[in-house]
Structure 1
């Protein structure tokens, strides 16, 4: 573990990634799953919650055995992040973990909770979790997670993205966006980068594999955003078999340095320790398939160099 990671206080102005054990240099992430979940609960996932510490530990061990070295957990506020458990899991597994603040779609929360957050001030909550810690856990988030809707942005998305932009301005934190079935890409960029002034290089667009519209992908990449291909091996999404084509097209257009790869395990049944593909599948099957299509160098860059750069921030001191 580096001195920065032990102290949590990097040299001022240096770009670092904020992990649950402290801040590290981007290159120290190693082989990174850029979008996944160790814990996740929602009324939308009855009976499939990711809420077992023991299962999370086993999944991390399996990921580590497959060559994984870091995981970015996109689970936002109010969805069972279990932040207090993350440092112990990181130490035991040897896998670096990055936690998130932010807010998902309204359907994942009660009206009472959303009313309370409006009264508190959402951007203030995000800033506090990025700079001071999540609740009483002492764990600081390293990114802001928000969500769009299906081919559009509702009032809730406008509220959460406006708050995320404010928190970004205060901290420099990257904003990771759940795109519903991979749609609404350009609406998100119009709002976050156009209206709210967030630099495109601080926006990470998730689930692009679910809507493999190559023209939209190229437009988003040309704007300067990060493009995450995550959630592989889902039979009802155009994922594994279309993703190499999308990556190849973006690389040929000059956007190799903006591409990320993630697993996005969202249900207990999807975990490898429960018989699903889980986090190891990303390295066991997806990465080799991608390497055959676009070459080892690009496949490696997506899970190492690019991930470190995407989540690196010169945090305020």
Structure 2
């Protein structure tokens, strides 16, 4: 099953999916660009649905303004399935003292949010989102990944990773898969478009993990022109069945309806047609429908 904010969903019913995005997000690193407007979030999902979207996987973790109580109504009003996340981001995204406060009970928090509810809501998370460091795993990332692995083994929930500028994905697999015994099919490696190294991507795919390319982006626009080349290398190597694509909208400015865009719908109005022309309808179906149905299943 896939755990959505409205309950469990059979994977084949997930439909056309944005595999990495944010409806609500608040970070001390992005002052003035908070995603905290419920009306704007609803409008963004409606536009995504009008473009043919049927599911959005949110990667906003614990403590970053997820607004979980708003998500069921947005899902109900739009008909779009939403997956919420637990987990913890890099320490610098949080106010001073927050990480130290939650650290002693991190695995307990993850487990509670996966099985009982997020905060005071009954909305359960369907994903554990954590983060690595730039070309290495620091002490914070290592501790958080141990907690994520513990929660995974207790529940079966998949683990999605933010890789800083797309780096250190090999170190993540060394820890989560080789040391902590998380199956590679339960690991989703994010932001790989930000490190457009085809050889590295093929090596990661060989290890059995999911490869998520999160574009288009605003903050990392220099890597966007490499997106289709990265996908082509992996598809040609036989790894089309390991690929995921998401929009990763992290600022109000990046919303399509109330900001400057490109917004979530760009995935379906612009990128999906290009992927279909370049690689064929079957590959587009893999990336937007069939792969997410497998990647986010427990």
Bucket of the pairwise TM-score, normalised by the shorter protein:
over 0.9
Q: Is the 8 A contact 1:102 1:145 kept in 2?
A: yes
Query: Aligned to 1:249, what secondary structure does the other structure show?
Result: helix
CA contact (8 A) 2:218 2:254 kept: no
- In structure 1, what is the Cα distance between the partners aligned to 2:214 and 2:150? 26
Distance 2:170 2:283 in 1: 25
Q: Is the 8 A contact 1:50 1:267 kept in 2?
A: yes
Deviations 1:125-153 (A, max 9, x none): 10110011111110000000000111111
Q: 8 Å contact 1:231–1:264 — kept in the other structure? A: yes
Tell me which residue corresponds to 1:46.
31
Q: 1:118 to 1:275 in 2, by over 3 A?
A: closer
Once the two structures are TM-superposed, the CA of residue 238 in structure 1 deviates from its matched residue by 4.2
Aligned to 1:279, which of 261, 264, 280? 264
Contact preservation (8 Å) 2:194, 2:220 = no
Answer yes or no: is the 8 Å Cα contact 1:101–1:145 preserved in 2: yes
List structure 1 segments (4+ residues) > 4 angstroms apart after TM superposition: none
CA-based RMSD of the aligned residues comes to 1.1
Q: TM-score, normalised by structure 2?
A: 0.97
- Is 2:250 the partner of 1:269? no
Q: Distance in 1 between matches of 2:50 and 2:134?
A: 37
Q: Is the 8 A contact 1:244 1:294 kept in 2?
A: no
Inter-partner Cα distance in structure 2 for 1:98 and 1:146: 16
CA contact (8 A) 2:196 2:230 kept: yes
Match of 2:129 in 1: 145
Which residue of the partner structure matches residue 11 of structure 2? 26
- Residue 9 of structure 1 corresponds to which residue in structure 2? none
State the alpha-carbon separation in 2 of the partners of residues 188 and 206 from structure 1. 11
1:163 to 147, 154, 162: 147
Report if aligned partners of 2:30, 2:251 keep a CA contact under 8 Å in 1.
yes
Question: What's 2:166 paired with?
Answer: 182
Q: Is the counterpart of residue 124 in structure 1 residue 112 in structure 2?
A: no
For residues 156-203 of structure 1, give each alpha carbon's deviation from its aligned partner in whole angstroms, at most 9, with x where no partner exists.
Answer: 000110100000000010000001111111111111111111111110
1:56 — aligned with what? 41
Q: CA deviation at 1:235?
A: 6.9
1:237 offset after TM fit, Å?
Answer: 3.5
Q: Number of paired residues?
A: 297
Q: Which residue of 2 aligns with 1:103?
A: 88
Task: Tell me if structure 2 keeps the 8 A contact 1:247–1:294.
Answer: no
Q: State the secondary structure of the residue aligned to 1:51.
A: coil
1:260 counterpart residue number: 244
Q: Is the 8 A contact 1:221 1:258 kept in 2?
A: yes
Q: Give the superposition deviation at 1:113.
A: 1.8
Aligned to 2:227: 243
Unmatched runs of 5 consecutive residues or more in structure 1? 1-15
Match of 2:283 in 1: 298
| TM-score (norm. length: structure 1) | 0.91
| Correspondence 1:36 to 2:10 | no
Provide the secondary structure at the position in 2 that maps to 1:76.
coil
3-state secondary structure, aligned to 2:99: helix
1:310 matched to 2:295? The reply is yes
1:82 CA drift (Å):
0.1
